[in-house]
Amino acid sequence: MLHSSYYSRISAAKIIGRSLRVYGDKFHVLFFPFLIIGLIESVLWNFAFDLIPQFKVQPGFTENFLVQLITYLTFAIPILAAFCVINWMIDAFPNGLIVKYSSDMLEGSSPNLSASLKTATLKIFSLLSVGLITGLLVILGFVLLIIPGIIVAVVFSLAIPAIIIEDSKVFESLRRSRKLVAEGSWQVFSVLLFTFLFIAMAGVIGEILCSYIIGIKGYSRLLIISIFISTAKPLQPVALTHLYYSLTASRKILEVRKPYQPIIPTPPSVGRRVQEWIGYQPKFCFKCGQKLPSDAFYCPRCGVKVKT
């Protein structure tokens, strides 16, 4: 059980540190979902590379070479972009699963991979839809000017935690993510940058191992690199879950605090929202995520007391 000190805004460095500890302690649980998805994605990427013919580099920079290069890129880029979007969409499911598992840890309940899998499965349509929308926008941004792709990736990075933790719908989760990121954009960017470099480093190690040490090529090489990347991917949803709780807590403290109202210490329970102890009506059940009526004292779905 975490104490109330966690419920205040914490720095990106502390979020990364805590996420790394969770990643190290629960690696044997977190790795498995991404391993399965990694094996599927390696097959898809092998199929994608088979569709793209090999480009033969000719000596000298001639007009004919430039025409061939433009023709090749015109054919290859749409295929690679399409498979990147599919890859992004598929990753949304294990990301949602690990967010649920991490959320249970932060809420103080006993995390269970089977229960997290059930929750992610029930929300699979929302997860895949968010993955598809954000994937399309990010890839489009990268194809155009790169910078817009980075901005979109940061702005909508908290959509999956919003779906899992707040039980938000597809477009509601995108709006929720945008609002939260607006209050801590550099913090979100720092966490995402670290996790991206962490995943990229795992891929580079896999590439070095295959190319220079073992000498493996073809699909086997792609498979090993995918496994290495899968070992690093769980860190991102764990870090985003910690980040979501940090930004949500600071936002709710600002929402409920009125002029001249004394600051009331938060009880040592992460599961309940800050509003509950200062007479503010919560909008969602802290236990099951059910949207609450305006005058509810108990959750209509699970029966837990949501307002004192």
pLDDT in tens, 169-187: 999 999 999 999 998 889 9
d(CA 306, CA 232): 37
Q: For residue 111, what pLDDT is reported?
A: 85
Model confidence at 281, in pLDDT bands (50, 70, 90)? low
Of 183, 189, 201, 233, the closest CA to residue 39 belongs to 233
Is there a single domain that holds both residue 93 and residue 75? yes
Of 196, 241, 233, the closest CA to residue 104 belongs to 241
CB 212 within 8 A of CB 132: no
Q: Is 290 or 193 the better-scoring residue by pLDDT?
A: 193
Mean pLDDT over 226-241 rounds to: 95
Is there a single domain that holds both residue 128 and residue 250? yes
Is there a single domain that holds both residue 75 and residue 114? yes
Is there a single domain that holds both residue 72 and residue 196? yes
Q: What is the pTM of this model?
A: 0.76
Model confidence at 287, in pLDDT bands (50, 70, 90)? low
Total number of domains in the chain? 2
Is there a single domain that holds both residue 86 and residue 21? yes
Is there a single domain that holds both residue 237 and residue 280? no
d(CA 156, CA 278): 31
Q: For residue 6, what pLDDT is reported?
A: 41
Q: Quote the mean pLDDT of the chain.
A: 82
d(CA 45, CA 283): 43
d(CA 247, CA 231): 27
d(CA 306, CA 286): 7
**If you compute the radius of gyration of the chain from its CA atoms, what whole number of angstroms results?**
22
Question: Looking at this protein, which amino acid is placed at residue 267?
Answer: P
Per mean pLDDT, which range of 30-34, 207-211, 230-234 is the poorest? Answer: 207-211
Model confidence at 282, in pLDDT bands (50, 70, 90)? low
Mean pLDDT over 206-229 rounds to: 85
Q: According to the per-residue pLDDT averaged within each range, which of 4-8, 19-23, 286-290 is highest? A: 19-23
Q: For residue 179, what pLDDT is reported?
A: 93
Any idea what DSSP says for residue 67? H
Q: For residue 69, what pLDDT is reported?
A: 79
Is there a single domain that holds both residue 20 and residue 106? yes
Is there a single domain that holds both residue 256 and residue 278? no
Is there a single domain that holds both residue 84 and residue 182? yes
pLDDT digits (tens, 9 = 90+) for 53-64: 877 766 666 677
pLDDT digits (tens, 9 = 90+) for 115-172: 999 999 999 999 999 999 999 999 999 888 889 899 999 999 999 999 999 989 999 9
Is there a single domain that holds both residue 215 and residue 296? no
Q: Which residues form the domain of 307? A: 272-308
Is there a single domain that holds both residue 160 and residue 290? no
Q: For residue 99, what pLDDT is reported?
A: 95
Is there a single domain that holds both residue 281 and residue 227? no
Residue 289: pLDDT over 80: no
